[in-house]
Amino acid sequence: MARRVVVIGGGVMGSSAAWHLAARGDRVTLLEQFRPGHDRGSSHGSSRIFRIAYADPFYVSLAVRALPLWQRLEEETGTSVLSLTGCVDHGPEQATSALRDVLTLAGRPSETLSPEAAAERWPGIRADSTALFHPEAGRLNADAAVAALQRAAELKGAEIRHGVRVTSLTHRGGGVELVTDQQETFAADAVVCAVGGWAPATLGPVVPGLPPMRVTQEQPLHFPAADALDWPSFIHHEGAGLTVGGGVYGLGSVDGVKAGFHGVGPVVDPDHRDRTVDPAARERLAEYAAKWLPGVDATAPAATTCLYTTTPDHDFVIDRAGPVTVLAGFSGHGFKFGSVIGELAAGLVHGEPGSRRFALGRHSG
């Protein structure tokens, strides 16, 4: 049965939810507080890693579901959002072999290489100890992906509105009433709330069981490289030759080779951050590039900032509390799953069971 659904938040998760809900025939309105293509949250820029390889089979299975949905999005909108250039994981043998084993179990391709063989194939990357190449990986263009998701939702009848901020959310009967900063009132059968770094303040008062979440400002750099678009994505795992906690990630893009530390930025308020780049963090990352990325100009990086919203276990929140479906806490590794997370959200709205792994209240007690 078609439902009246309001989606709050027009990043990758909210836009994907709008696409899947509209495809089910629901009457969907998406409300985004900022302009199209804004850089205030977690879904902007030219590059996000796509990869199937995880040491956890659960996430491998989720990424396997996401891949054909990204390709379907491209077909429906006639746009390119995903480039499969492969990915190189390198570092301790324990890390690369764990990925290889899970990929093999899932029937997905991979190839183990020595550091010398990896350097010969990808001279821009200095591999550490062992390397694993898996071809079902590469990059998503974040800006293009969000725009395509919204376009696909519109093609199926959804209404997309920017510059509208929801100021209150109240249960009314079996549904929800929303009020915006423009004093508009919306009555909906269901709401999908996908507000990224604003989730703790927005949802904490109205959604029981929301886990504590840290909102941090992360500071990747883009390094000039003539062949940036040909680079595979890469993960340098800590241990062996790297002592940085959480490791380093990177990928090619139209803005150069992007590299960053994972989840090490300062805690911020998303409404009151100045987005100033930490010079010490910039220097550490440039030093890393000078040592491990011989194919880039490590002296001339361009800095950017984005938000991570991280749960204690780094798993996501994808669950329903009454008429409110919550998409939150994507912990710096969620974008790649955006195409399938919208599908999961649409299922929750229609009463389908969710995953216990992503449940509200899982941290209680």
288 and 171, same domain (yes or no): no
- Residue 160 resides in a domain: yes
Tokens representing residue 130 in the block:
């062992």
What does the pLDDT read at residue 327? 98
151 and 299, same domain (yes or no): no
Nearest Cα to Cα of residue 16 among 69, 52, 54: 69
- Residue 39 resides in a domain: yes
Task: Give the chain as a 3 state SS string.
Answer: CCCEEEEECCCHHHHHHHHHHHHCCCEEEEEECCCCCCCCCCCCCCCEEEECCCCCHHHHHHHHHHHHHHHHHHHHHCCCCEECCCEEEEECHHHHHHHHHHHHHCCCCCEEECHHHHHHHCCCCCCCEEEEEECCEEEECHHHHHHHHHHHHHHCCCEEEECCCEEEEEEECCEEEEEECCCCEEEECEEEECCHHHHHHHHCCCCCCCCCCEEEEECCEEECCCCHHHCCEEEECCECCECCCCCEEEEEECCEEEEEECCCCCECCCCCCCCCCCHHHHHHHHHHHHHHCCCCCCCCCEECCEEEEECCCCCCEEEEECCEEEEECCCCCCHHHHHHHHHHHHHHHCCCCCCHHHCCCCCCC
> Could you list the residue range(s) of the whole structural domain that residue 21 is in?
4-44+143-208+311-358
Task: Give me the residues of the chain with pLDDT under 70, please.
Answer: 365
- How many domains in the chain? 2
Instruction: Read off the CATH number of the domain in which 95 is found.
Output: 3.30.9.10
278 and 353, same domain (yes or no): no
- Residue 57 resides in a domain: no
Distances (CA, A) of 11 to 141, 323, 353: 13, 21, 24
Distances (CA, A) of 210 to 22, 169, 201, 204: 27, 16, 11, 6
131 and 151, same domain (yes or no): no
93 and 8, same domain (yes or no): no
Contact 141, 153 (CB under 8 A): no
221 and 256, same domain (yes or no): yes
- Residue 334 resides in a domain: yes
- Residue 159 resides in a domain: yes
Separation of alpha carbons 258 and 298, rounded Å? 11
What does the pLDDT read at residue 27? 98
What does the pLDDT read at residue 365? 52
What does the pLDDT read at residue 174? 87
- Residue 242 resides in a domain: yes
Tokens 């919203």 found at? 309
Contact 26, 20 (CB under 8 A): no
- Residue 61 resides in a domain: no
94 and 222, same domain (yes or no): yes
Separation of alpha carbons 26 and 33, rounded Å? 22
Tokens representing residue 287 in the block:
């030093």
124 and 248, same domain (yes or no): yes
Nearest Cα to Cα of residue 136 among 71, 227, 226: 71
223 and 280, same domain (yes or no): yes
What does the pLDDT read at residue 363? 76
